[in-house]
Amino acid sequence: MSWRLACTLFILAILTLLPLRVCAQFSEGSVYGPLPVFEFHSDFWVNLHHTLYQEAKFRAPQRTQTAQTADRDKTAPKSRPTFRTPNAKIPFTTAEQRAWDDALNYYAANYIDKDPLFTTELILIKNQLGDFDGCDELSGRKKKTCDAGLPPNLTRVLENAAAVYRVHDWPVHDLANRRWVLRVAPLVREQGVGLSQRLADIYQTKWPKDKIRVDVCAYANRSGAYTTLDPLRVTISSSDPRNQESEALEVLFHEASHGIADTVQQAIIRECRQRNRGIPRDLWHALIFYTTGEVIRPVIATTNADGGSDASASATTYTPYAIREGIYQRGWDGYLKLLTQFWQPYLDGKSTFDDSIAHMVSAL
């Protein structure tokens, strides 16, 4: 079975689990609301960009991972997914195949050795594309306000590939994105404000005043979601099995925490320097995973209790993302012990922020 066909069937299988009445709500456009905390988008150009990146990357021969990519892949699946070739059910025409291959070749030559999370060039492209939601072009030839200001060659390949994507993949991708939002929206509406305030209090900062933009895409990156700063934006995959149901709430708030948890990293750095110790590379990230998971536990319990299930059982049976995906087992087991011993008391109100950070650094 081809990559494109297998993926399409998987997404359609997910969609069939939802009632058909949601289709009546699809006329809202790509922005979903009103919701607190987050602003969800199913953006054509952002989805096309990530689709081309993923296809080009996984068609290419394997390359040696950079240290940053290898580190980020702690959150990636244990096995590499199989990506697709043109849809066997709706074959490409010769012209479509040429345009799609041209775009893939351009991405392979220019972007696949760069990480969407760490490479400024790719971050700027993603953000720029997101700002032109609603435009059917990027060059401004038809409408001056739709000139995205991208490099001419990139504009050309994206516009040519867009005609192919609109026919073959976008209807399925957009439908999956929208249905994913319809599933997660009730959780955000009910729990979003409380969770954002709780996390801001923990990190001794303020939650962003403006809603955080979330680009919902068929594909995001190997981790299934990532966050870029200045401006703070989250990109999340609607088809990734790690981002479904109540688990999606944890992924969203974990990613959003990257924009407010700088206080933790700075506190760790400060304590390490005062004690003349090396700065642990990933302790701050492990702490974000741990914190979000622990904060989500009672929320899932409350949500399930409202649905008629036992709250205490729900709290104990919900498995936080980092444990469920084996993150700590990939070199962070020592961090888990520190967090359980010294950070958990702070979450329970039995220790201060500064004392917990100091004790963790002293125990390194």
Residue-by-residue DSSP string for 2-18: -HHHHHHHHHHHHHTTS
Locate the domains of the chain by residue range.
Answer: 3-23+40-181, 261-364
Print pLDDT tens along the chain (364 aa): 444 444 444 444 544 444 433 333 333 344 555 889 999 999 999 999 999 999 999 887 654 444 444 444 444 443 333 344 444 457 889 999 999 999 999 999 999 999 999 999 999 999 999 999 889 999 999 999 999 999 999 999 999 999 999 999 999 999 999 999 999 999 999 999 999 999 999 999 999 999 999 999 999 999 999 999 999 999 999 999 999 988 999 999 999 999 999 999 999 999 999 999 999 989 999 999 999 999 998 888 776 655 544 444 444 578 999 999 999 998 999 999 999 999 999 999 999 999 999 999 999 9
Q: Is 219 in a helix, a strand, or coil?
A: coil
Q: How many CB atoms lie within 10 A of CB 59?
A: 17
Q: What is the pTM for the complete model shown? A: 0.82
Between CA 239 and CA 11 the distance in angstroms is 6
Specify the pLDDT at position 358: 96
- The DSSP code for 89 is S
**What's the pLDDT score for residue 31?**
54
pLDDT at position 304, please?
Answer: 60
pLDDT value for 340:
97
First to last CA, the chain: 49
Contact 120, 34 (CB under 8 A): no
**CB-based burial, 15-42: b 16+ in 10 Å, e otherwise:** beeeeeeeeeeeeeebbbeebbbbbbbb
